[in-house]
Amino acid sequence: MRHADRRNGIQPVMKAVAVNPGTRQVELVEQEAPTITAPTQVKLHMLDVGICGTDREICAFQYGTPPDGHAHLVTGHEALGEVVEVGSGATRVRPGDLVVPMVRRPCPHEHCVACRADRQDFCFTGDFSERGIKSLHGFMTEYVVDDERYMHVVPRALRDVAVLVEPLTIAEKALIQVDQVQQRLPWACGVVPGRPSQGCHRAVVIGAGPVGLLGAMALRARGYDTSVYSREPAPNPKADVVSAIGGHYFSAQDTSLEQLAERVGNIDLVYEATGASSIAFQMMKVLGTNGIFIFTGVPGRKAAIEVDTDVIMRNLVLKNQVVFGTVNAGVEAFETAIRDVALFQERWPAAVRALITGRHPIEAHRDLLVGQALGIKNVLTFA
Ligand SMILES: [Zn+2]
Ligand SMILES: [Zn+2]
């Protein structure tokens, strides 16, 4: 952090990556470093900030809302920071702690029972805000101040991989809901006395980007026989990650959905992680008996396509299927994501490392945010 002379003394300024929807620019800006203004706030020095499709779409001006009174929005929502200062009323975190901040903040409406119950990931009104996305500055900067209730402490041993926690929360929230929904039927896998418990379900993940691969890891960690269906032909680095975690990789270029279904058997769960609606609805046709289909992608608006609604509706009824969409994540999903990243790291250290394509200085932001998407997960580092 540098210091700049200002009218009433010396004010620290810091660099931030920002998008200006008015001038359609993605640029490095300098702004005043934030200070603690409430007892339960904490100040973080950002260490790693991951880049995802959401950031790239914001930097293509598809969405993204600057805070009131600002022309620019500081981007970045997948973060790891180190606590450097805490307010007098902070009890959950201490200086030196590594934390992953949550992204969404509650809406102000009294009648929003979700936000009033700290479940802004289920906000009814849509008036929530999201750091780095909607009405609040994000994390691609040197210092951030926020309330400690949005911070999740991660063990220091996860320093190099904790930037994966936030994108993993998508799968964690989805799988928490799968457990809740499937409780309506006898779904638990049988346990053989004296043997370690093993999964009995078969899952298909559509897409091998970071959300898909992290979802595949979360499914494997729960014992699902997991297949990943993606565009690129194998071998490729994403297929390597899938085999390293004991999953099966299928390319759409040489395997049709019917062939995939034949190879997998009864598809108990589909985890959609591409935002490609056409392939997703085709996949819905091969979802198995008592199957559950989870949408996590957000497709752009394209021309309408034909969907075989008779087959899908017949299957939904006759096979007791459930389809749901899920967005953002609550406290429990963050906590399970931290536990899972530790587990992944223990079981598949090379595969977890392979998810992080590279760490780059803040000056490299432009290529990563507006250039061609390369690799799996790129990270800006402020350490
Ligand atoms: Zn993201
Ligand atoms: Zn709300």
Ligand number nearest to the C-alpha of 120: 2
Query: Nearest ligand to the C-alpha of residue 127?
Result: 2
C-alpha triplet 322, 324, 327: angle, nearest 5°: 160
Question: How far is the centre of ligand 1, averaged over its atoms, from the C-alpha of 326 (Å)?
Answer: 14
Beta strands in the chain, from DSSP E residues, in sequence order: 2-6, 9-20, 25-32, 41-51, 73-74, 78-86, 98-101, 104-105, 129-131, 135-136, 143-147, 151-154, 202-206, 225-230, 248-251, 269-272, 292-295, 322-325, 356-360, 377-381
Token digits of residue 110: 């009294």
CA of 291 to the centre of ligand 2 (A): 31
Cα–ligand 2 centroid distance for 328 (angstroms): 13
Closest CA to 13 of 30, 36, 35: 30
Ligand 1 centroid–CA 130 distance in Å is: 11
pLDDT value for 376: 95
In this structure, what token pair is assigned to residue 69?
A: 């009174």
Chain length of the chain = 383
CA 106, chain centre distance (Å) = 18
**Which ligand is closest to the CA of 108, given by its number?**
2
Gap between the Cα atoms of 31 and 11, Å rounded: 10
Q: What residue spans of 155-284 are helical by DSSP H?
A: 165-182, 210-221, 237-244, 257-264, 277-284
Q: What is the reported pLDDT for 301?
A: 82
Residue pLDDT tens, the chain, 383 long: 454 444 455 668 999 999 999 999 999 999 999 999 999 999 999 999 999 999 999 999 999 999 999 999 999 999 999 999 999 999 999 999 999 999 999 999 999 999 999 999 999 999 999 999 999 999 999 999 999 999 999 999 999 999 999 999 999 999 999 999 999 999 988 888 887 777 899 999 999 999 999 999 999 999 999 999 999 999 999 999 999 999 999 999 999 999 999 999 999 999 999 999 999 999 999 999 999 999 999 998 888 999 999 999 999 999 999 999 999 999 999 999 999 999 999 999 999 999 999 999 999 999 999 998 889 999 999 98
C-alpha span between 203 and 293 (Å, rounded): 10
| Distance of CA 39 from the midpoint of ligand 1 (Å) | 29
CA 301 to chain centre: 22
pLDDT of residue 192: 80
CA of 139 to the centre of ligand 1 (A): 12
Return the pLDDT at 10: 60
Q: Which of 20, 2, 19, 22 is nearest to 10 (CA)?
A: 2
CA of 336 to the centre of ligand 1 (A): 17
> Phi then psi for 29, rounded to 5 degrees?
-120, 165
Ligand of minimum distance to the alpha carbon of 123: 2
**What DSSP character marks residue 125?**
S
What's the pTM?
0.95
335 Cα–ligand 2 center, Å: 22
Look up residue 163 and give its two tokens: 């930037």
Predicted pLDDT of residue 200 = 92
Q: How far is the CA of 322 from the centre of ligand 1 (A)?
A: 26
The predicted pLDDT at position 5 comes to 45
The sheet carrying 322-325 orders its strands as: 248-251, 225-230, 202-206, 269-272, 292-295, 322-325
